Amino acid sequence: MSRRIFVDTAWNPKKNKNSKKYTGYDPDKDIFIEVNSLTELKDYDEIYLDSPLFPNMWRQLRELVSNGRKIYYFTRPWKWREVRQRFREDLKAKTGRVSKTDKGDAFLLSKVYELSLIKKNTKRYFRPLTIVDIELRPLLMREEVLYKNLQRIRNASIIGVDVESDVEMQEKRLKDVRREIVDRAIKLILGFTDIAKNLGLDSEDINGLTGLAEELVYNRSTSSYSSSVRFHGLYKAKGKMLER
């Protein structure tokens, strides 16, 4: 039987310095666990996160996945208010309060999982993190930050600020991280090269390939060539009709 733990990841830096960063709830033992690193949860087979994936978590998640642990995250964080209201009485009985707390959020996550099992729609609420996510998402986040910084610097030049050297530096950084994204996508995403080729993207189109990598990582419906072109509304490619 798989051991599961449900974890609140929204650590507050204003907490007491001796406080643990993550709070988990083990429904089998009916206990709360506090740890400084997610890797301390290695005794659990399945780890469910309450959605926020912070930059400092990726290394920990990589270690867990590499050691065979299954990681899932809650895909509907906008439903927290509804979840809190639905399980209000259970929450009060477990934690003594209905307002937001780390323990309360970990407990509520377990209740969402229980409900999803009853409704047989667990995949709707929890998405697995794969090695593709762990290797590419941090790079995609960095790419987004670099792109926004580049846009900000370019906007400054419009009002006469001399930012030429800054623009060149940011363009190089952005190009380098996009190249790294594409290289990893080619290695990690099955059929990535074929999808790119059939969508008309050549190996030098770094921007287009980066966009494709982002789409394949964040939108699981585009996990194959056929579904990728359908996603774009392309039903013909290279003179070949795709099966609908």
Percent helix, strand, coil in the chain (nearest 5)? 55, 15, 30
Q: Does residue 54 sit in the same domain as residue 77?
A: yes
Q: Residue 228 belongs to what domain range?
A: 131-241
Going by pLDDT thresholds of 50, 70 and 90, the confidence category of residue 65 is very high
pLDDT of residue 239: 39
Rg (Cα) of the chain, in Å, rounded? Answer: 22
* Per-residue confidence (pLDDT) for residue 3, from 0 to 100: 95
Q: What is the domain count for the chain?
A: 2
What CA–CA distance (Å, rounded) separates 106 from 116? 16
Condensed to tens digits (0 to 9), the pLDDT of residues 220-236 reads 544 454 555 555 544 44
| Residues 124 and 166 occupy one common structural domain | no
Q: Percent of the chain having pLDDT more than 70? A: 82
pLDDT tier for residue 73 given thresholds of 50, 70 and 90:
very high
Residues 6+ apart with CB under 8 A from 79: none
Tell whether 112 and 175 lie within a shared domain: no
Is the full-model pTM beyond 0.75? yes
Do 60 and 86 fall within a single domain? yes
Boundary (domain end) residue, out of 94, 129, 164: 129
Q: Check pLDDT > 60 for residue 170.
A: yes
pLDDT, tens digit, for every residue of 122-155? Answer: 999 999 998 999 999 999 999 999 999 888 888 8
Domain end (from 129, 160, 185): 129
With beta carbons less than 8 A apart as the criterion, state whether 207 and 181 touch: no
- 17 and 104 part of one domain: yes
Residues 20 and 77 in one domain: yes
Q: Are 114 and 177 found together in one domain?
A: no
Banded pLDDT at 52 (limits 50, 70, 90) = low
Among 82, 105, 129, the domain-final residue is 129
Bridge-based pairing state of the strands 46-49 and 31-35: unpaired
